Structure 1
Amino acid sequence: MDTEIIELDLDRLPAVVELCRRALDLPEDAAEASAVVDTLAARAAADRPVLRLGAVRDGALIGVLVGSLSAADSRLGHVDLLAVAPEERRRGVGRALLDVAERRLAGLGATEVLLAGNPPYYAWPGIDVRYTPAVCTALRLGYHQDRTGWNMTADLTGGSPALRSTEAAERRLAGAGITVRRAEPADLPALAAFARDTFGGAWDAELAGSLGRPGAGAHLAERDGEILGFAAYGSSRPSWFGPMGTAPAAEGSGIGGVLLRRCLRDQAEAGLPAAQIGWVGPVPFYAGAAGARIERVFFLYRKPLNGQK
């Protein structure tokens, strides 16, 4: 029987999760398949068009693709997740899913498709370099690499620099009139406004996902009721840290390191042995503040559609 590409409704998500657990070759990805699928296929649909495509043969789900339009630029379509059952690889399943996704995204107005994360709801920045078959497929189908991204890993086991005490630093900040505390759901409007005004407004959904959800949380620093910085974790999945930001006027005060380690301590107390700091920019900061190391590297790809240049 030929492979059929179908639309997947939310009732099929348990089957999608099970497929991803088998298809994602890296253990850390397979272990978090449920959180990844929920973030991409369910939560992301709240603020952007989302494609949920399945490849079916003889009634069995053998491949899945989740795609979306960029919330920031509707000309950009994203492939957020592509997984094919191990026994069905090299049979054109991934190509068939991508072909349909490209046509559907073009129909929604996209002029380019990116094999790259679509913040604030993304699984990975791009294709982990260890997924060699995926890299080969991207190149074979006309995608070209235009960026590289990376995650850093913070060790959360005993004695790790990530778990250094913040008490002395918090006392020093208190002497300057700065209070550091756990953020509460009631803080969300002020935090979102601070993030929009200071960093351009890309983190509203991630902050909302970090406040008031099991396995997630945030901390903030303030002076006289004015927010000076925040750090959050668990929005995409419990083991991921971010986003975080410090007001330019407060940079160099030590606020960032305190907020980071308070979040990492929460994650350690939840039983996590390590935290992923996703799509990192300031590598030296995380290395110095938490002993984090670059561990996952991702290639990001793009392809013009409909003859666009």
Structure 2
Amino acid sequence: MDLLVNLYSRKLDDLGARVRDVPATIRVALPPEQHIIKDWVRTHFSQYWVSEVSAAMAHQPPGCLIATLDKQLVGFACWDATARGFFGPTGVSEDQRGKRIGLALFYHALIAMKAHGYAYAIIGSAGPVDFYANAVGAQPIPSDKEDIYQGLLRVAPKSEGES
């Protein structure tokens, strides 16, 4: 399900207040770090998300934010990766979840999108719908089970005996 976020909602200000004291540093990823970020995303999430990070990093400035703690990468968030106006993918390492780092990444990505002239953000194929609804009042976009990922090429699982 795709979700829509109003970037002029007061709920965005409320989210900013909620993440003000998150201990992680949130910043724009730098191009020389791209290989580190991609390796981390491949290890913790998926090769598909590595492709989206590549697209987000191709923008100037990059549409990829990172979260660091003690100079270690603990999360990332992209925007304008799969399509213009789309937020995501985003993820936080398992051992850092529940510390509002994901919320902080989400907030800073939405603020960056707003600064680039977007009035709304789309969260494509949103996984944790309640997370986004509770964070900023994200609303479902009505559809007939069709989205931008319809027909996406997938890697076929290897059959037994295949290497």
Contact map agreement 2:4 2:122 (CA 8 A) in 1: yes
Give the whole-Å Cα distance in 2 for the aligned partners of 1:215 and 1:172.
24
SS of equivalent residue, structure 2 residue 21 = helix
The equivalent residue for 2:26 is 180
1:152 aligns with 2:3: yes
Give the whole-Å Cα distance in 2 for the aligned partners of 1:284 and 1:180.
23
Deviation of residue 182 (structure 1)? 1.6
1:249 partner amino acid: D
Q: Do the aligned partners of residues 238 and 171 (structure 1) sit closer, same or farther apart at CA in structure 2, a change above 3 Å counting?
A: same
The equivalent residue for 2:12 is 162
Contact map agreement 2:28 2:62 (CA 8 A) in 1: no
Deviation of residue 214 (structure 1)? 4.5
1:289 partner amino acid: A
Deviation of residue 165 (structure 1)? 5.7
Question: Aligned match of 2:140 in 294, 299, 307?
Answer: 294
The equivalent residue for 1:279 is 125
Q: Do the aligned partners of residues 244 and 172 (structure 1) sit closer, same or farther apart at CA in structure 2, a change above 3 Å counting?
A: closer
Higher strand share: 1
SS of equivalent residue, structure 2 residue 2 = strand
Work out the number of aligned pairs and report it: 148
Deviation of residue 183 (structure 1)? 1.3
1:250 aligns with 2:117: no
The equivalent residue for 1:220 is 66
Q: Do the aligned partners of residues 225 and 216 (structure 1) sit closer, same or farther apart at CA in structure 2, a change above 3 Å counting?
A: closer
1:112-170, CA deviations, whole angstroms, 9 ceiling, x for partnerless residues? xxxxxxxxxxxxxxxxxxxxxxxxxxxxxxxxxxxxxx10000012x431344636634
- Structure 2 unaligned runs (5+)? 152-163
Aligned sequence identity (%): 25
Q: TM-score, normalising length from structure 2?
A: 0.80
SS of equivalent residue, structure 1 residue 189 = helix
1:26-65, CA deviations, whole angstroms, 9 ceiling, x for partnerless residues? xxxxxxxxxxxxxxxxxxxxxxxxxxxxxxxxxxxxxxxx
Name which structure has the greater RCO, CA cutoff 8 Å, separation 6+: 2
Give the whole-Å Cα distance in 1 for the aligned partners of 2:127 and 2:15.
24
Q: Do the aligned partners of residues 188 and 170 (structure 1) sit closer, same or farther apart at CA in structure 2, a change above 3 Å counting?
A: farther
Q: Do the aligned partners of residues 216 and 225 (structure 1) sit closer, same or farther apart at CA in structure 2, a change above 3 Å counting?
A: closer
Contact map agreement 1:154 1:162 (CA 8 A) in 2: no
Contact map agreement 1:221 1:255 (CA 8 A) in 2: yes
The equivalent residue for 2:105 is 259
State the structure with more CA Rg: 1
Give the whole-Å Cα distance in 2 for the aligned partners of 1:272 and 1:215.
16
Alignment RMSD, CA only? 2.2
Matched ranges for 1:66-81 at <5 A: none
Q: TM-score, normalising length from structure 1?
A: 0.44
Deviation of residue 231 (structure 1)? 0.5
Contact map agreement 2:75 2:92 (CA 8 A) in 1: yes
Contact map agreement 1:163 1:264 (CA 8 A) in 2: no
